[in-house]
Amino acid sequence: MRNFATLTRMRIQLTLRNRMFLFFSVIMPFGFFFLYAGVFAKGQPAGVRFFLGPVVALAVMGSFWGLSAALVMFREQGILRRFHVTPVTASDMLASSIVANYVLIFPTVLLQFIFARTIFHVTHFGDIFATFILISIGNIAFASLGLVVASVTNTMQETQVINQLIWLPLIFLSGATFPLAFLPKVVQKVSLFLPATYLVQGLSRTIFGSAHIWEHNVLISLGSLVCWAVLTFFLSAQLFRWEPEVKVPRKAKLLVLATIIPFLLLGFWENTYGNIPAQAQSALDSLSEPTKSAPSPDAPK
């Protein structure tokens, strides 16, 4: 437990000294924030509140990127080897990655809420408790995804390719960039198979729809992300490698497929019985109605 605490502190310290961190945790999330709030929402409080869910989700999800890269770099440079001759365990290493990431992402998310309040005059943020829980679970789930990526790739190059492959569908098909309701029906069906969709839609529900934690779709989001976080963390602990020369075992790819199963089942279920796209549509409708009635020259503040 003490090893885990000191490692976490080191990881936070090192990340703050890293310029890459500045990009992924500061420039990118706030870039998205001002783009969405200022341009898409035209600075209107209701619009900013509508987009806050997707924006926060992007900041939370983006963490998998830096985490996988950091761990692979640690392994490639023989840094993990050095820890391996000490009593530090694989779970110390992995858990400290997740907690350090959580601590580092939180100020960013908090600042996004504060900016929404002070710059764009958003007065209501829906159910704050449910939002907080979703952000926390989402953060852990996507951090674990980063650890899995680090476990199944051998070199930094491979890691970056896989990250790109994950990131693009993650942001384009989940409703994080284009609201889910804008997407064609077929794409909506696909998006219901993605973990990201459940985070984005869950946050939209709690922030914009003021949904409580026990609302059906929020529970679905929460439950699926918890389940996924547990699976991916367990998997990353199984596949963890200290040594750069040790390559990914063949069974790893099969195990990775196993983590997809919950969302495969959930996707089928939601496509058949669920109402997430309909809910997203009505949220979008409720936003566009007042803006249609009062056309363009609203002064963005």
Residues of this chain that bind other proteins (CB under 8 A): 2-3, 6-7, 10, 13-14, 17-18, 74, 77-79, 81-82, 84-89, 242-243
> Closest CB to other proteins among 76 and 213?
76
Residues listed for the chain: 301
Which spans in the chain are helix H?
A: 2-16, 19-21, 28-34, 45-61, 63-76, 79-84, 90-118, 128-152, 156-172, 185-191, 195-207, 216-239, 251-273, 276-293
**Smallest distance, Å, CB 11 to other proteins?**
9
**Smallest distance, Å, CB 146 to other proteins?**
17
**Smallest distance, Å, CB 71 to other proteins?**
12
> Closest CB to other proteins among 49 and 241?
241
* C-beta atoms surrounding 95 within 10 Å: 19
> Closest CB to other proteins among 46 and 248?
248
Q: Are 210 and 283 in contact (CB under 8 A)?
A: no
> Closest CB to other proteins among 88 and 134?
88
> Closest CB to other proteins among 75 and 205?
75
Q: Are 195 and 265 in contact (CB under 8 A)?
A: no
Task: List, in order, residues 6 or more apart from 120 with CB less than 8 Å away.
Answer: 37, 41, 43, 44, 45, 48, 301
**Smallest distance, Å, CB 93 to other proteins?**
12
Q: Are 170 and 249 in contact (CB under 8 A)?
A: no
**Smallest distance, Å, CB 216 to other proteins?**
45
> Closest CB to other proteins among 22 and 261?
22
**Smallest distance, Å, CB 293 to other proteins?**
55
> Closest CB to other proteins among 73 and 111?
73
> Closest CB to other proteins among 46 and 73?
73
Can you tell me the distance from the alpha carbon of 127 to that of 293, in angstroms, rounded to the nearest whole number? 28
Task: List, in order, residues 6 or more apart from 299 with CB less than 8 Å away.
Answer: none
CA–centroid distance for 297 within its chain = 35
Count Cβ atoms within 10 A of the Cβ of residue 157 and give its class: 0-12 exposed, 13-18 middle, 19 or more buried. exposed
**Smallest distance, Å, CB 153 to other proteins?**
19
Can you tell me the distance from the alpha carbon of 139 to that of 87, in angstroms, rounded to the nearest whole number? 28
**Smallest distance, Å, CB 4 to other proteins?**
11
Helix/strand/coil for 278: helix
